[in-house]
């Protein structure tokens, strides 16, 4: 048990779910080994609650991990997005204190995504939207997705970004699964693209959470800023890349002392939120990373409380309201 009781009441912004039928549909669509991994993990409300209790998680904000909901057919992706979003909303309705929801969109289908975004936010009362770093090689800052980001900006939405396999990743992954090396770099690609496409400048009211301690971003930040500034990348008015990177939020999923020390050179503690990555990241490994976060020398007790709980509550008004009633 943590000495600070709030560390056992974590708000987990990186909590995945695989509702009934999801994995089977992805397999039938040809994604048998997602991103080179052996298989999909098991998930249920009951298993999640057991894991949350062991990991000290009060609320897990559910999102669909890679490979998402689109496996090549727009109509199927619209149907699957609706199915998983309604399943996630049902879990929230039954256990409002234990679950939140970052709804999935059938990207790259823009029309379908706008429809699902409205349904998720207005009917299902989702806490935000989950997006993948790229879809079939098209990154989030692409002009095609501008209507989606403008709508997210209008709604002042919270957006959780999760990496997925880049195009042709098998040619450079050396036979390893994409989450090991490719995911951190695809996170860096996606955020760099959002900066130099001008999307972050045009959509300042979108709150973006970047996973896995920012992936490769903390290490590459200076390089991205230097080259981008020297070559004047991006539309007129684009500011120094570090300015944008410091306004983003970053979760602690699969963190270590190495990644945390790098992240703290880029982001203020107030921009860091807790993430477990369960069930794609095993419970035993989650306990080890929890221990490093809770006992390491990088943070004060006040910092840990902010990372594990209060920073996320500031972003998620529905969950904050429920917490205040306890």
The pLDDT of residue 6: 66
The pLDDT of residue 3: 53
The pLDDT of residue 2: 47
* Domains of the chain (ranges, CATH numbers): 8-325 (3.20.20.140)
> What gap in Å lies between CA 99 and CA 57, rounded to an integer?
10
Q: Sort residue 35 into left (φ over 0), alpha (ψ -120 to 50) or beta.
A: left
Please provide residue 265's backbone torsions phi and psi, each rounded to the nearest 5 degrees: -80, -15
The pLDDT of residue 59: 98
pLDDT by residue, tens only, the chain of 326 residues: 345 666 789 999 999 999 999 999 999 999 999 999 999 999 999 999 999 999 999 999 999 999 999 998 999 999 999 999 999 999 999 999 999 999 999 999 999 999 999 999 999 999 999 999 999 899 999 999 999 999 999 999 999 999 999 998 888 889 999 999 999 999 999 999 999 999 999 999 999 999 999 999 999 999 999 999 999 999 988 889 999 999 999 999 998 888 888 999 999 999 999 999 999 999 999 999 899 888 877 889 999 999 999 999 999 999 999 887 76
End-to-end Cα, the chain, rounded Å: 20
The pLDDT of residue 5: 65
The pLDDT of residue 114: 98
The pLDDT of residue 1: 37
Return the ∠ at Cα 158 (arms to 177 and 195), rounded to 5°.
Answer: 70
> What gap in Å lies between CA 294 and CA 6, rounded to an integer?
11
Q: Which helix (H) or strand (E) holds 130?
A: strand 128-132
> What gap in Å lies between CA 252 and CA 14, rounded to an integer?
9
The pLDDT of residue 55: 97
Query: Would you say 54 and 287 are in contact if contact means Cβ atoms under 8 Å apart?
Result: yes
């Amino acid at each position: 048990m943590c000495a600070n009781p709030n560390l056992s009441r974590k708000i987990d912004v990186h909590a995945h779910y695989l509702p009934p039928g999801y994995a089977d549909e992805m397999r039938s669509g040809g994604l048998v080994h997602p991103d080179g991994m052996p298989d999909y993990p098991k998930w249920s409300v009951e298993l999640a609650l057991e894991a949350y209790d062991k990991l000290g998680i009060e609320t897990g904000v559910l999102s669909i991990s890679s490979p998402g909901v689109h496996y090549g057919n727009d109509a199927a992706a619209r149907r699957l997005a609706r199915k998983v979003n309604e399943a996630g909303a049902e879990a929230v309705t039954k256990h409002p204190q234990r679950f939140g929801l970052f709804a999935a969109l059938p990207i790259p289908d823009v029309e379908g995504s706008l429809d699902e975004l409205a349904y998720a936010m207005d009917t299902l009362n989702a806490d935000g939207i989950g997006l993948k770093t790229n879809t079939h090689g098209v990154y989030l800052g692409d002009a095609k997705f501008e209507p989606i980001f403008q709508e997210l900006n209008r709604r002042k939405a919270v957006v959780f970004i999760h990496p997925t396999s880049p195009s042709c990743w098998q040619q450079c992954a050396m036979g390893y699964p994409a989450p090991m090396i490719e995911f951190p770099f695809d996170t860096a690609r996606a955020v760099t693209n959002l900066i130099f496409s001008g999307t972050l400048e045009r959509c300042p009211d979108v709150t973006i959470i970047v996973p896995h301690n920012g992936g490769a971003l903390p290490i590459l930040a200076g390089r991205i800023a230097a080259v981008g500034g020297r070559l004047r990348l991006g539309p007129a008015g684009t500011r120094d890349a570090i300015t944008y990177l410091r306004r983003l939020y970053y979760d602690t999923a699969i963190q270590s002392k190495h990644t945390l020390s790098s992240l703290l050179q880029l982001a203020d503690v107030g921009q860091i939120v807790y993430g477990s990555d369960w069930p794609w990241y095993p419970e035993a490994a989650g306990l080890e990373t929890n221990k490093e976060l809770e006992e390491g020398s990088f943070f004060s007790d006040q910092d840990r409380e902010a990372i594990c709980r209060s920073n996320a509550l500031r972003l998620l008004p529905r969950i904050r309201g429920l917490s205040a009633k306890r």
